[in-house]
Structure 1
Amino acid sequence: MTVPYETAKAALLEAAMMHVPFDGWSETTFQAAARDAELSPSVARAICPRGAVDLAIAFHKAGDAAMLDRLAETDLSAMKFRDKVTAAVRIRLEVIEDKEAVRRGTTLFALPMYAADGAKLIWGTCDAIWTTLGDTSDDVNWYTKRATLSGVYSSTVLYWLGDDSPDHMATWGFLDRRIENVMAIEQVKAKVRQSPTLSRLMTGPNWLLSQIKAPRITPKTDLPGSWTAPRE
């Protein structure tokens, strides 16, 4: 019987979770997961060409999906926008069921050959948060929002990994302080825009930044490829 790709990959990931705390996201873990999931080495490799690295990526993306599910069930309408962002980051951490798997993943994606994968995953998490919260920016702010939140999220994860306070209260305090720092930067930017002198000095840089546009979002289809007209 042929097993669907996503089903087989989910089985591999589930089997790997037993081994990650001991062997990390390693080839040893990948081979053990294939055996436990009763998949042949060739099939397992076809599903995850890079072995445990692909499983670590799948683990992170599963956390993003769980976060989005929780956000969809949470009423954030009465919150200020900064509080919504804080809540989303907190939810992203709360849906993690295995802190050791995250710790091992952090070690893996700190390696130079996988650093780009790690950065892409963090960016994807922050993009999902901003998009879900209704961000409609289509200029340079699209990038700065996600870059800033990426810094907040990554530093909060590192703090959370070492936090042994009850219910991670120390982590939530740390997160609040990081968000407060971001808001302070936004307040400074607002003052610059309101200042006649400083705003004139920023005319050139602001014009240059205004030429930066957010990437076009490709509609999801069942087709192997798609094309959209370039931005005019």
Structure 2
Amino acid sequence: MVETFMTDPKDALLDAAMMHVPFDGCSETTLRAAARDADIPIEQARALFPRGPVDMALAFHTRGDERMLERLKDEDLSALKFRDRVARAVRLRIEVIDDKETVRRGTTLFALPQHSADGAKAIWGTADRIWTALGDTSEDIDWYTKRATLSGVYASTVLFWLGDDSMDAQDTWAFLDRRIEDVMSIEKAKAAVNNNPVLRALMAGPNWAMSKVRKPSGVARDDVPGRWGA
């Protein structure tokens, strides 16, 4: 039985579930087994995870994000280029994962059409936490493009890592470096367009429109992302 004294019930359930996920996946069976092992009433477990396995998988993901942020606080990134800071954060996010099979099963769950939006939101949340932790101050369309590109980098790197059997995941970290370099190439291309008088003139209209896009305000809204600036 999982020790629950002075332990948050949600953490106790997640810890207990990890022993069952490799066999039963992210399922109702795993939730019931975790509640039994953690000595937590199934009613309380359902209150903590109203949608069952989906909410449990999302909680696993969020806990990984929190552990990454804790590790980042102890890192001295001052000597690194910004691209390397981003790469380091992504690597830390993967390194804090307790069990690869748990991620594999969660990825399978979020690949289902009915749960794909939840999976995309979780990955976006990871990218947002990384950029925020690294001190991103963007307020306009860059706020969105940074998180969208990093979401793609993180998701593709995790998928590569799941199939990587190289020593100390060296192939995964090389793959991550290539993906980060691809993102930097996009930023260089954007800078080249802005420095070209002809292309800059052609993009004047779209650039004006994009300059009016603002990152989400402090007031949460569920109907639209972000806001339009004056």
Normalising by structure 2, what TM-score?
0.91
Q: Measure, in 2, the Cα distance between the counterparts of 1:145 and 1:14.
A: 33
Aligned residues: 219
Q: Measure, in 2, the Cα distance between the counterparts of 1:155 and 1:133.
A: 21
Instruction: Tell me what 1:224 maps to.
Output: none
Q: Measure, in 2, the Cα distance between the counterparts of 1:165 and 1:98.
A: 16
Instruction: Tell me what 2:93 maps to.
Output: 92
Instruction: Tell me what 2:144 maps to.
Output: 143
1:38-58 Cα offsets, whole Å, 9 max, x none, are 122222111111112111111
The amino acid of 1:18's aligned partner reads: M
Of 18-27 and 49-58, more deviation after overlay is shown by 49-58
Instruction: Tell me what 2:37 maps to.
Output: 36
Structural RMSD (CA): 1.8
1:151-210 Cα offsets, whole Å, 9 max, x none, are 010000000000000000000000010111111111111010000000000000001101
Instruction: Tell me what 2:193 maps to.
Output: 192
Question: Aligned-pair distance for 1:217?
Answer: 3.1
Q: 1:205 to 1:114 in 2, by over 3 A?
A: same
After the TM superposition, which residues 85-124 of structure 1 pair with which residues of structure 2 at under 5 Å, given as runs? 85-124=86-125
Question: Aligned-pair distance for 1:102?
Answer: 0.4
Question: Aligned-pair distance for 1:218?
Answer: 5.2
Q: Provide the secondary structure at the position in 1 that maps to 2:138.
A: coil
**Structure 2: where are the runs of 5+ without partners?**
221-227
Question: Aligned-pair distance for 1:10?
Answer: 1.2
**Structure 1: where are the runs of 5+ without partners?**
220-229
Please list every run of at least 4 consecutive aligned residues from structure 1 whose deviation after the TM superposition is greater than 4 angstroms: none
Q: Measure, in 2, the Cα distance between the counterparts of 1:111 and 1:161.
A: 18
User: 2:212 touches 2:229 (CA, 8 Å); kept in 1?
Assistant: no
Q: Measure, in 2, the Cα distance between the counterparts of 1:82 and 1:94.
A: 18
The amino acid of 2:51's aligned partner reads: R
Q: Measure, in 2, the Cα distance between the counterparts of 1:89 and 1:20.
A: 24
Instruction: Tell me what 2:23 maps to.
Output: 22
User: 2:214 touches 2:229 (CA, 8 Å); kept in 1?
Assistant: no
Question: Aligned-pair distance for 1:24?
Answer: 0.6
Q: Provide the secondary structure at the position in 2 that maps to 1:156.
A: helix
After the TM superposition, which residues 172-211 of structure 1 pair with which residues of structure 2 at under 5 Å, given as runs? 172-211=173-212
Q: What fraction of aligned residue pairs are identical, expressed as a percent? A: 64
Q: Measure, in 2, the Cα distance between the counterparts of 1:217 and 1:146.
A: 18
Q: Provide the secondary structure at the position in 1 that maps to 2:8.
A: helix
Question: Aligned-pair distance for 1:231?
Answer: 7.1
Instruction: Tell me what 2:57 maps to.
Output: 56
Instruction: Tell me what 1:10 maps to.
Output: 11
The amino acid of 1:47's aligned partner reads: L
Q: Provide the secondary structure at the position in 2 that maps to 1:28.
A: helix
The amino acid of 2:11's aligned partner reads: A
1:67-96 Cα offsets, whole Å, 9 max, x none, are 000000000001110110000001101111
Q: Measure, in 1, the Cα distance between the counterparts of 2:60 and 2:158.
A: 15
Normalising by structure 1, what TM-score?
0.91
